[in-house]
Structure 1
Amino acid sequence: MPEKLLCASSDVSETTAKICELEGVEIGVIRHKGTVVAYRNVCPHQGGPVCEGLKMPKVCVEFDEERRPLKQSFDTDEMHFVCPWHGWEFKIETGEALGDPKIRLNRYKVIERDENIYVEV
């Protein structure tokens, strides 16, 4: 498959996605746990700019024996994109929707080489 240059490696951070355009398609690129991932910047729910949403850790809720919430905490090992249009959440590592893991963001294969980031198209 042909590789296309997206951006310089130094443009990509662990905190926010870099939005790149490639042949009229927006692609969100982010560094996660030392690896670069890239997704088409389109939410499968209603087409929102998913990669431009908040990046936040998984929210964990502890319940009592009657299923009443006791406390919340965050699991920073599992980070999510939250679509800014309707709040759908997706695992950054896999692109899976939290509500239904069969729904996924469109992911690109990423190659990081010579201080640049490429995707296979």
Structure 2
Amino acid sequence: MGEFVRVAGTADVKPGHGIVAEVQGKTLAVFNVDGTFHAIDNTCVHRGGPLGEGEVEGGVVSCPWHGWQFNVATGECVKNPSAKVAVYQVKVDGDEVKVLI
């Protein structure tokens, strides 16, 4: 069974934005959608773009390289739901955002 590992402080991820976080050899995209935090794999399945650097709107992040869009809660590609990125369970512990690795 995995463990929850700190990836950011709650103040580090502004509402409506994302960040890139490195944890235990994984590169994650962590998002704050109206105070709810989500974590997905940072690498877009299309061409490897950094999802954590993309624009977030309504729970959907757009890859900054080619515009592919992913639901940050489910990891599903908006236009092709069979194309997914990994999703990680998140919990907030005080002022820390932790992800199950």
Q: TM-score, normalised by structure 2?
A: 0.86
How do residues 1-121 of structure 1 correspond to structure 2 at under 5 angstroms? 1-56=2-57, 78-121=58-101
> Aligned-pair distance for 1:103?
1.6
Residues matched between the structures, number = 100
- Quick check: which has more Rg, 1 or 2? 1
Secondary structure (helix, strand or coil) at the match of 2:39 reads: strand
Stretch deviating more after TM superposition (12-21 or 110-119): 12-21
Q: Which residue identity does 2:21 align to in structure 1?
A: C
Instruction: Give 5+ residue unaligned stretches, structure 1.
Output: 57-77
Q: Relative to total residues, which structure has the larger strand share, 1 or 2? A: 1
- Percent identical residues: 30
Q: Which residue identity does 1:46 align to in structure 2?
A: R
Instruction: Measure, in 2, the Cα distance between the counterparts of 1:10 and 1:33.
Output: 13
Q: Which residue identity does 2:25 align to in structure 1?
A: G
Instruction: Measure, in 2, the Cα distance between the counterparts of 1:86 and 1:120.
Output: 29
Moved over 4 A (4+): none
Q: CA RMSD in A?
A: 1.5
